[in-house]
Amino acid sequence: MTSSAGGELVPLMPIVGLAAMLGSALIGGIFFAFSSFVMRALARAPAAEGIALMQSINVVVLNPSFLGAFIGTAVLSFGAGGLAMATGNRPSGAFFVGGATLYLLGTFLVTVFQNVPLNDRLAAVPAADPKSAKLWALYLVRWTTWNHVRTAAALAAALLFAVGLVQSATP
């Protein structure tokens, strides 16, 4: 069922969907880099060095370019899912809603409720304290595991947005 307001929103779908797809792919790529080599390199360093480097990364990442892409993609995903629902039961709608759900739950909320609290705990320890090495070993496993989840969710969201775009372009 498509309302007249929903019909007026249809032209926005490709723009918002494309932006959400690109943002999801970008964030997925960043998280993939961490999963595939950044965390491995940090794990190879002595604990004090690895902790200090990750503490630095966690400060530097709080910048407009990363946060704009990360939070902006959450907003775009929410918009794509909302537009898909508002414009009616089109074949592409389920893909846009699925992409939005994966990004919002599997990438954004996992970051907020899993990775950020781990980062906060790591920030609270002195890197050079030998007692911090135990926390570091646990951090590496847990943070990287949740990062794998974020990576997979962001890349799967990008794929679903892409399929939604193809479906919406098909007459």
Tens digit of pLDDT for each residue in 7-31? 666 788 899 999 999 999 999 999 9
Q: What is the pLDDT of residue 9?
A: 64
Q: How far is Cα 170 from Cα 95, in angstroms, rounded to an integer?
A: 14
Question: Would you mind telling me the total number of residues written for the chain in this entry?
Answer: 171
Q: How far is Cα 65 from Cα 61, in angstroms, rounded to an integer?
A: 9
Q: How far is Cα 99 from Cα 5, in angstroms, rounded to an integer?
A: 23
Q: What is the pLDDT of residue 170?
A: 75
Q: What is the pLDDT of residue 1?
A: 39
Place of tokens 């646990």: 138
Other C-beta atoms within 10 Å of 40: how many?
12
Q: Which parts of the chain register pLDDT below 70?
A: 1-9, 89, 171
- Residue 90: C-alpha distances to residues 7, 18, 77, 86, 133 (Å): 11, 17, 17, 10, 53
pTM, full prediction = 0.92
